[in-house]
Structure 1
Amino acid sequence: MRAAVLEEHGEPLSIDDVDAPDPTPNGAVVDVEACGVCRSDWHGWQGDWGWLGLETQPGQILGHEPAGHVVAVGEEVEGIAEGDHVAVPFNLGDGVCPQCRRGHSNTCENVMPLGFIEEVQGAFAEQLHVPVADHNLVKLPDGVSSVDMAGLGCRFMTSFHALAHRADIGAGDWVAIHGCGGVGLSAVHIADALGGNVVAVDLKDEKLEKAEELGAVETVNAEEVDDVPGEVQAITNGGAGIAMDALGIETTSQNSVLSLGTRGQHIQVGLTTQDEQGMVHLPTDAMVMQEIEFIGSLGMPPTRYDEIFRMVATGKLEPEAVVSETIGLADVSDKLEAMTDFETVGIPVIDTFN
């Protein structure tokens, strides 16, 4: 099968013919019909996250936002069958650790991050293998396309979990989203659907225009104002109730915290780059004086995908609205390079692999 393989960090991926996977006893093989190209792939391509034990190695197939159909299952698999239309979460769990058993498989004690370690090669390929298939694969509703559902593997479900499960959004609450990449734009759409009044913050007008299309009632171009938190404070008449850093750099994390009002909630979704290496300075005194909550949020348990599907069925959520374009496998390196300067808008999705 064809796959885009990492040879050297920061260099174009090699389009190679590699062996197609066979299912392990508890695993399944998915024929990939669509896969999003995510900023997390960019981090892997750059060789980031060594401080998390996730520095990708040569020979790795990246890609962690796939959707497609199951073509083979192992003999121990009971709930997944050949022909099932599925999405694959990026944070694969073992299904048996205490976190998985409590319904928190997104923080599995033996997590297998799809496309970042040798044991789980990614979805920039015609096929991929998914371990513990009964636990990790999510059956998609009838009538949806793999392209429209590709973002469910990471960005869309990550934003949904952060806002619907980790934060406490009430009707009419001000929600400030800092960074309007794929995660941020998904968050804008989701926060709007959950009843929030969204302020979107970014450096690029085209991303802010897209945020308005997805439900933002106000936008702030961070390149055009001297005081981003002050601007958000003014718009929200005293500070947002919830703010999200959807990028993962020190500036957006600090701006997110400082844009909150008293007893606000900061949601950290973006992971850091080589500049921060996981450590960010924060206005701790202000957080204490205002009783601000700092909340981390990672992925989403597959058992809760039905919440998204129910909102999709009634038209309240449209994951496809965040998909910006479809590309071929050979175009992935160009998209990763464009992400270096934040030049992509929304979610690019691979839909041609041969």
Structure 2
Amino acid sequence: MRAVLVEEFGRLPEVREVPDPVPPAGGVVVRVEATGLCRSDWHGWAGHDPGITLPHVPGHELAGRIEAVHPAVTGWRVGDRVTVPFVCACGRCPACAAGEQQVCERQEQPGFTHWGSFAEYVALHAADTNLVAIPDDLAYETAAGLGCRFATAYRAVVARGRVRPGEWVAVHGCGGVGLSAVMIAAACGARVVAVDVAPEALELAGRFGATAAVDAGAAGGDAAAAVREATGGGAHVSLDAFGSAATCAASVASLRRRGRHVQVGLLPAGGTPVPMDRVVALELDLLGGHGMAAHAYPELMRQVAAGTLRPDLLVGSVISLAETPAALAALSEGSPPGVTVITPHGTDGPGRGPGR
């Protein structure tokens, strides 16, 4: 198969012919019809994840159809249309037994612990625990984001942030996960402040439900103060959807008393300065968001089917596998507006129905 192969961290990868994957024990091989280009993939390519072994194929948010099934799999057949959380849980550890597969103690992550979905095919583990069926009328390009960005934002807003109608929610970083969070928080009835340095991103955030915007580049270096002013004292919930020391600190500093910070963007290993004096004085909650377990998808899927949530609107561009190496490296300069989706088999591949 053809795949994007990283042979040296930080060096432009190449599209190469590599061996086809085979189903792992209890797993499947999926023909990748669409896969998202995410900042987490950039972190892996840049060498920020010590668990990655070279050579490596990135890619972790995907949708496609099952190509091959291990004999131990009972719930899935060749041809099924599926997506998968980026955390593939083992299904057997204490965390999984408690229903918290997103923090599985023996998790696998395509594109990190093993070769991922920037390829024509990808192997996925523990299929009966992790696969999520996608309906025939949901485009693969839309469904790909449900494996990471949109589902991660959904759980971060609804389950971790516990956003309630009328609350102020600040979203720092309006790339794919940030715009998803804006849309989801607005659907929850919250008032949303979008924070970014790119006018195009802030314009999209307004389209997806943000009621206020803060240009972090024009805020005199104090985006948090601008958020506190816009919200009349600070956000009830603030999310760092970008993942940097600056956005993490600004998110925490954006909160009002007893507010809730949710860290969604991946941060490189090492120290990240957090204004802990403010955390103590205002009794702030610091929370992490790490994806969403497969069993939690039905409510998200219902809202997508009903049109309450429109992840299809987040797709900014669709590119080929050949265009992927340059697009991955370009994330060093920032994320483009919306979500970039890769179609390894081309935009007219099998599985694309009318209007998709």
TM-score of the two chains, using structure 1 as the length reference:
0.95
Query: Does the alignment pair 1:353 with 2:345?
Result: yes
Query: What CA distance in whole angstroms lies between the structure 2 residues aligned with 1:138 and 1:159?
Result: 17
**Which residue of 46, 55, 60 corresponds with 1:59?**
55
Equivalent in 244, 250, 253 of residue 255 of structure 1: 250
| Distance in 2, Cα, partners of 1:349 & 1:103 | 30
Q: Does the CA-based 8 Å contact 1:269-1:298 persist in structure 2?
A: yes
Over 3 Å counting, the alpha-carbon distance change for 1:237 and 1:12 in structure 2 is: same
CA RMSD of aligned residues (A): 1.2
C-alpha distance in 2 between matches for 1:26 and 1:249: 37
Question: Residue 16 of structure 1 aligns to a residue in which SS?
Answer: strand
TM superposition shift of 1:343: 4.2
TM-aligned CA deviation for residue 24 of structure 1:
3.0
Read off the aligned partner of 2:333 and give its amino acid letter. D
1:165 equivalenced with 2:159 (yes/no): yes
- Distance in 2 (alpha carbons) for counterparts of 1:256 and 1:348: 25
Within the candidate set 279, 293, 311, 1:301 is matched to 293
SS of the counterpart of 2:229?
Answer: helix
2:321: which partner in 1?
329
**1:82 corresponding residue in structure 2:** 78
In the other structure, the counterpart of 2:231 is 236
Give the residue type in structure 1 aligned to 2:293. P
Question: 1:138-187 deviations in whole A, cap 9, x for unaligned?
Answer: 11123111111111111111111111111121111100001111111111
| Residue 91 in structure 1 maps to residue 83 in structure 2 | no
Asked if the contact 2:32–2:344 (Cα under 8 Å) also holds between the matched residues in 1, the reply is: no
- 1:262-315 C-alpha deviation (Å, 9 max, x unpaired): 110000111213xxx342121112111111100111111111111110101111
Q: Are 1:129 and 2:108 an aligned pair?
A: no
Q: Secondary structure at the match of 1:211?
A: helix
Higher mean C-alpha displacement, 157-166 vs 279-288: 279-288
Question: Structure 2, unaligned stretches of length 5 or more?
Answer: 347-356
Residue by residue over 1:313-344, the C-alpha shift from the partner in whole angstroms, topping out at 9 and shown as x without a partner, is 11110111111110000111121122111141
Kept in 2: contact 1:262–1:290 (CA 8 A): yes
Q: Does 1:317 align with 2:309?
A: yes
Instruction: Tell me which of 242, 264, 271 is aligned to 2:266.
Output: 271
Correspondence for 1:281: 273
Does structure 1 residue 291 correspond to structure 2 residue 291?
no
Question: Aligned pair count?
Answer: 345
- Please report the TM-score for the alignment, with normalisation by the length of structure 2: 0.94
The answer for the alignment partner of 2:2 in structure 1 is: 2
Q: Does the Cα contact within 8 Å between 2:175 and 2:335 map onto a contact in 1?
A: no
DSSP 3-state at the match of 1:99 = helix
For 1:301 and 1:101, locate their aligned partners in 2 and report how far apart those are by CA, in whole Å.
12
Runs of 4+ in 1 over 2 A off after TM superposition: none
SS in 1 for 2:112: coil
Identity between Structure 1 and Structure 2 (%): 43
Is residue 33 of structure 2 the alignment partner of residue 33 of structure 1? yes
Structure 1 gap segments, 5+ residues each: none
Match of residue 97 from structure 2 = 101
How many angstroms apart in 1 are the aligned matches of 2:267 and 2:270? 6
SS of residue matched to 2:292: coil
| In structure 2, distance between residues paired with 1:161 and 1:297 | 7
Q: Who is 2:140 aligned against?
A: 146
Aligned to 1:192: 186
* Preserved contact between residue 141 and residue 309 of structure 1 (Cα < 8 Å): no
Q: Is the 8 A contact 1:77 1:134 kept in 2?
A: yes
Structure-1 residue corresponding to 2:350: none
CA distance in 1, matches of 2:237, 2:72: 44
Q: Secondary structure of 2:333's partner?
A: coil
